[in-house]
Amino acid sequence: MFGSPELIVFLPPILPYLWALWLCFRPPARLRAVLLPLAAQAVAALVSVLQIRAGGAVVLGAKGELPAGMVLRADGLSAVLTIAGTLILSVCVIYSLGYFQLHRQWKTKTLRRERFYWPLLAVLWGGLLFLWITADLLSAYLALEMLGLSAAALMVLPERGEAVNAGLRYLFFMLLGSLTYLMGAGILYAAHGHIGFEALAAAGAADAEGVQTAALALASAGLMIKAAVFPLHGWLAGAHSHAWAPVSAIHSALVVKGSFVVLLRVWMAFWPEMHAAAQFVGWAGAAAIFYGGLMALYKHQVKQIVAYSTLAQLGYLLLIFPLAAQGTQEAAQLAWQGTWLHFTSHALAKAAMFLAVGNLMLAMGRADLEGLAGVDNYLPVSLLILGFASLSIIGLPVSGGFTAKWLLLNSAILSGQWQWVVVLSAGTLLGAAYIFRIFKYALAAGVQTGEHVHLPVAKEAAAFVLALAALLLGLFAKWPLILIGDGAGGVPWP
């Protein structure tokens, strides 16, 4: 497979599966046990980015090298997502070592299932990186299944009834979404004889008023269920609230967004036929922004607040559909860049938030807002990390979230769609309200009883890396934007 030097860009999705086989027999116990595979993964990701930057997109399978017409495409967009995913997952691996170290000290039941955690995490990692380079209906389905099944298994590892119920609920929704998507994809293949996204785009509309419309509706509905698009988000809050902290971080930052990537690629393949539904999806995104923000504003469990914040932030991604459908070429390009920059900055910030919240909950021994009172006296660094990540979630200068929203605002203004300017502005204010609510309780004076947990340095340092990356992304946005601008894959915009 790697006879040609440029095909090295497809190495990052393969390494995690090799690591998964090793982890089945030797789960890591110390940092040095994971340094080599993490370093290898980072080098592979960096080499792939340099190769794409130097030689452009690399396509595998367009001429029949892969079975059943499958196509893999590594381009600028997949390079940015690979780097972001590698950074987040590497940090979560380091955090997990400290997480399980604490449970060993407490001699909890968590130890009985730790050995399953590591190979499942590696399989999830491979599925995620595989998803970034998929360019056809079938390979996207396979990647989503690997991603969803491993994520569901990770969610049920805690031996608590709430976690098992939430994980099984998530699994049910994922299987429902998979079935619905597969039905739509099968109809599209029967209508066009192609499964590649670019081939489908070139084939054009076979029956825009009939079979194709129904197929696109089925595929889109299945992907929206998986992506927790409002109002199909019923599994989201429970899944993120009851899982282990590193699992919640990975799922909220990356896994839940995987289906959005496929959704956008499917829509781009049939872009002229999807204009009529673009405004509807945009309003679904607006509803998610307001509903998720309001729910976060009134919840009292800290992880539930962060989980509903994810629902709200996912709504911003959906604004690309109306902004690109009714805007100029320039407005569509700004929407494209703003959407993927928001995707990346939110992934970094939300992972940091879940890890920091996990630290705060462990230190204080409580999961509600009132239990955070006085936490600044015990974990000031974790509280600072939460603050750094919050800057990007709200969209304050100079964070990556600010730059992303600025691009989306400019796109809305250029296209004359002022309703999205209002949505973006109001959503930012609502985000600030529920974030400041957390800090209101955390900085309040309080008398805490009981023994406070001393956290390993790696647990705080890991979360700090992600929070700082989300903050600095706004200052260095030019570099990922150069790559993101090359990621449309030649699919025509309006």
Position 35 scores a pLDDT of 86
pLDDT tens-place values along the chain, 494 residues long: 444 656 788 888 999 999 988 888 887 877 777 888 899 999 999 998 888 888 788 888 755 555 566 788 888 898 999 999 999 999 999 888 887 777 666 555 555 677 888 999 999 999 999 999 998 899 999 999 999 999 988 888 877 777 788 888 888 888 999 999 999 988 888 877 778 888 887 776 554 556 778 888 899 999 999 988 888 777 777 777 777 888 888 988 999 999 999 999 888 888 777 777 888 889 999 999 999 999 988 888 888 888 888 889 999 999 999 988 876 788 888 899 999 999 999 999 999 988 888 888 777 667 677 777 777 777 788 888 888 999 999 988 889 999 999 999 999 999 888 899 999 999 999 999 989 988 888 887 655 544 556 666 667 788 889 999 999 998 888 888 888 874 444 444 44
Position 209 scores a pLDDT of 55
SS3 of the chain: CCCCHHHHHHCCCCHHHHHHHHHCCCCCCCCHHHHHHHHHHHHHHHHHHHHHHHHCCEEECCCCCCHHHCCEEECHHHHHHHHHHHHHHHHHHHHHHHHHHHHHHHCCCCHHHHHHHHHHHHHHHHHHHHHHCECEHHHHHHHHHHHHHHHHHHHCCCCCHHHHHHHHHHHHHHHHHHHHHHHHHHHHHHHHCCCEHHHHHHHCCCCCCCHHHHHHHHHHHHHHHHCCCCCCCCCHHHHHHHCCHHHHHHHHHHHHHHHHHHHHHHHHHCHHHHHHHHHHHHHHHHHHHHHHHHHHHHCCEHHHHHHHHHHHHHHHHCCHHHHHHCCCHHHHHHHHHHHHHHHHHHHHHHHHHHHHHHHHHHHHCCCEHHHHCCHHHCCHHHHHHHHHHHHHHHCCCCCHHHHHHHHHHHHHHHCCCHHHHHHHHHHHHHHHHHHHHHHHHHCCCCCCCCCCCCCCHHHHHHHHHHHHHHHHCCCCCHHHHHHHCCCCCCCCCC
